[in-house]
Structure 1
Amino acid sequence: MGSFTIAIIQQPPVFLNLAASLEKAERLVRAAAADGGHVIVFPETWLPGYPVWLDESAGAALWGHPPAEALYRILLQNCPHLDGPEIARLADLAAELSVEIVMGIQERRGSSIYNSVVRLTADGWRDVHRKIMPTYNERLIWAAADGSTLRPWASAHGPVGALICWEHWMPLARAARHHHGEILHYALWPAVTELHLLASRHYAFEGQCFVAAAGTVLTRTDVLDGFDSIGLNEPSARAMLEVIPADHELLKSGGSAIIAPDTSLIARADPGVASTLIASIDPDIVAEGKLYLDTAGHYSRPDIFELHVDTRERPGLKFEV
């Protein structure tokens, strides 16, 4: 299969501004491709930015709270549809540059938002995974997905796949992905803290695969400047962001990493520094670790354990003639 190069974008979007973030993404992809990146990975919900007010703003969970309602409306308006022009533009970019783009998005489906990752390949293939369980306060704005996106993804180098944030602590979700025989796993996080790095390194060993753990750097200033760049006269929504404490300037610290199947760090970005992390991996070595551990094969004990994964789409509404 041969080695190839991964680039992880540890830079902030233009917060909540979908159009400006898309333009920035294109610049970053072009730069990463020029530096030799074959696979270019963005963090969780990079388009149009992780909803930090859920963790940082007092009143985010209050019922009937006008600032929270207004901010949700603006967020929804700036979330891309999977079949919309923004994702199509990224697909065209992947084809033009002969690269693979892995993008974390807040995906608009109807009037609900899903935490999703979309993979766009140079030959026009489009894969998506939606987070099956939003974590804690994330349930205020994100819907829980069905199992239809827990399917394997094919690539020229071998199977790849993705999970988002705390899905890495769902043992059965990990088992489903390991069954696909990933040679490379995309672990998307808002930031790769030490706890998130621990989960990513554990995944690499348990799955005997490489892991690209992607996290962004985001400051309070980025949040307010991004909101202002939209050009809306929405003081109530801005107030939801202004109450983020001034001493919480660094909201997301980055810490992205590229991890080998033996858990060693091939490369790690400096925390707090907006940058692009680039390193090469050799998928041929994945087979070596399977000598000792193959949780989907010789180490699985199917005579004792069995996992059933329902990959049917569950729209909740069917019209029958």
Structure 2
Amino acid sequence: MAAGTVRIAAVQAAPVILEAEASVSKALRLLGEAAGQGVKLAVFPETFIPLYPSEVWAHEAARFDGFDELWTRLWANSVDVPGPHIDRFIEACATHNMYCVLGVNERESARPGSLYNTMILLGPEGLLWKHRKLMPTMHERLFHGVGYGRDLNVIETTLGRVGGLICWENRMPLARYEIYRQGVQIWAAPTADDSDGWISTMSHIAIESGAFVISVPQYIPRSAFPDDFPVRLPKDGPALGRGGAAIFEPLDGRAIAGPLYDEEGIVIADIDLNRTLAAKRWFDVVGHYSREDALYPPALPHPAAANAHSGAASTSPRRDTTNPGHTS
């Protein structure tokens, strides 16, 4: 487990909507700006390329007709992973000797028709990790397929152990636990959630994981949308996202940089990874403060299955407290 001081950043910016090439160029420019300030790990928002599929036009997406233009443009400007757009980021990471977590709409050109909400980790070594969001949130299911769960990984880098989850995956306890089990030190959380409640979620995860958390919500003002955007936008208020990029520390969960609202910017913090060791000394949810034997035995049956066999009305199986981990 790495220790020492690392400069990390949350890059809050709007994409060039429905234009992959221009969005990649903007992201690379911002990556260079971050590198110029000594940043070694930069995290971008959820589905930065080429746009987050918002609930504000989900009613259009749910129709059988009238949505083809947006879908076609979204597909055409989504990203193959690996692919030529990703190669440009790898080259930039090698040039700047840094790492980048990037949110994209991922497509598979060999199997057109489905998109995925994907987070990737890139570094001087290349493409290190690709994670597809396990469960698209509500309106996202009109756009994205489900992930498969075998990519819930933490990656050992020269900076430390990097992992994370996408948006409301961060509220899935078992998904979090899988990341915790792998000793995460730096947690990336690209998201579309700009609510005050999201800040509380990030603070909680920082404490629970014993890791530094980089949260990057969407910031997309109405002015970012092109005149030919093919779906109607709300008449009043921001079209999508006020931002709220912030970095949280593990001992007490407080924000040590940000949150930044209503503007583009790079939120930077210098973190001491020894703080993750100190946090885990106090509260190690997968170590000395864990009771998997009592709370999470692999053989624990699903309550519905247990009730079907026993005929019991209880909503959970009986537990034999004289033999932890055994159910009857």
TM-score normalised to structure 1 length: 0.87
Give the % identical residues.
Answer: 34
Q: 1:125 to 1:107 in 2, by over 3 A?
A: closer
Q: In the TM superposition, what are the counterparts of 1:34-73 in structure 2 within 5 Å?
A: 34-52=36-54, 55-57=55-57, 59-66=59-66, 68-73=67-72
Residues 56-99 of structure 1, C-alpha deviations (whole Å, 9 max, x = no match): 13732433122x22211110111000011000110111011101
Aligned length: 292
Alignment of 1:126-205 (within 5 A): 126-205=128-207
User: Letter of the aligned partner of 2:11 in structure 1?
Assistant: I
Structure 1 residue 251 corresponds to structure 2 residue 243: no
Q: How big is the shift at 1:290?
A: 1.6
Determine if contact 2:18/2:74 at 8 Å carries over to the other structure: yes
Is 2:274 the partner of 1:284?
Answer: yes
What is the SS of the residue equivalent to 1:9?
strand
Q: Distance in 2 between matches of 1:81 and 1:258?
A: 29
Q: Is the 8 A contact 1:47 1:104 kept in 2?
A: yes
> Please, which runs of 5 or more residues in structure 1 have no aligned partner?
229-237, 309-321
Matched, 1:113 2:112: no
**Alignment partner, residue 81 of structure 2:** 82
Cα deviations by residue, 1:157-207 (Å, 9 ceiling, x for unpaired): 332102000001111001101101111100111243212111111111111
- Alpha-carbon distance in 1 for matches of 2:107, 2:80: 5
> 2:97 — aligned with what?
98
RCO greater where, 1 or 2, for CA within 8 Å and sep 6 or more?
A: 1
Structure 2: distance between partners of 1:77 and 1:239: 14
Question: Over residues 291-319 of structure 1, what are the superposed CA-to-partner deviations in whole Å (9 max), with x where a residue is unaligned?
Answer: 221111112212123376xxxxxxxxxxx
- Equivalent pair of 1:131/1:145 in contact (CA under 8 Å): yes
Contact kept, 8 Å, 1:192 with 1:213, in 2: the verdict is no
The answer (yes or no) to whether the contact 1:216–1:274 under 8 Å persists in 2 is no
> Quick check: 1:301 aligned with 2:308?
no
- Contact 2:69–2:230, Cα closer than 8 Å, also in 1: no
Q: Kindly indicate whether the alpha-carbon contact (under 8 Å) linking 1:99 and 1:121 is maintained by their aligned counterparts in 2.
A: yes
* 1:275 equivalent in alignment to 2:248: no
Measured after TM superposition, the shift of residue 8 of structure 1 is: 1.2
CA RMSD of aligned residues (A): 1.6
Q: Of the two, which has the highest radius of gyration?
A: 2
Query: Is 2:45–2:190's contact at 8 Å kept on the other side of the alignment?
Result: yes
Give, in whole Å, the separation in 2 of the partners of 1:2 and 1:272.
Answer: 33
Displacement of 1:220 after TM fit? 1.9
Shift, 1:224, TM fit: 2.4
